[in-house]
Amino acid sequence: MFQRYPVTLVLPSPDETTRLAAEIAPLLRPGDTLLLEGPIGAGKTHFARALIGALQAAIGKAEDIPSPTFTLVQVYEGPACDIWHADLYRLNDIMEVAELGLEDAFLESVCLVEWPDRLGALTPEGALRIAFMPDQDPQTRILTFNADSPRWTELLEPLSRHAGQPAAAARPDV
Q: Is the pLDDT of residue 108 over 70?
A: yes
**Does residue 68 belong to any structural domain of this protein?**
yes
Residue ranges of alpha helices (H) inside the chain are 14-24, 44-57, 94-99, 102-108, 153-160
CA 161, 163, 168, 174 dihedral sign is positive
User: Is 170:143 a contact under the CB 8 Å cutoff?
Assistant: no
Q: Is the pLDDT of residue 3 over 60?
A: no
DSSP-based three-state secondary structure for 140: coil
**Does residue 150 belong to any structural domain of this protein?**
yes
How far apart are alpha carbons 50 and 38 in whole angstroms? 17
Closest among 4, 54, 35, 39 to 159, alpha carbons compared: 4
| Section 41-49 average pLDDT | 94
**Does residue 69 belong to any structural domain of this protein?**
yes
Q: What is the pTM of this model?
A: 0.88
How far apart are alpha carbons 110 and 30 in whole angstroms? 5
**Does residue 1 belong to any structural domain of this protein?**
no
Q: What is the pLDDT of residue 166?
A: 36
Digit-coded pLDDT (tens) for 127-163: 999 999 998 998 999 999 998 888 898 778 777 765 3
CATH number at residue 108: 3.40.50.300
Q: Count up the domains in the chain and report the number.
A: 1
Domain span including residue 79: 7-172
**Does residue 122 belong to any structural domain of this protein?**
yes
DSSP conformation class of 115: S
Who contacts 3 (Cβ-Cβ below 8 Å, separation ≥6)? 147, 148
| Section 54-67 average pLDDT | 87
**Does residue 2 belong to any structural domain of this protein?**
no
Average pLDDT, the chain: 86
End-to-end, the C-alpha distance of the chain in Å comes to 17
**Does residue 149 belong to any structural domain of this protein?**
yes
**Does residue 111 belong to any structural domain of this protein?**
yes
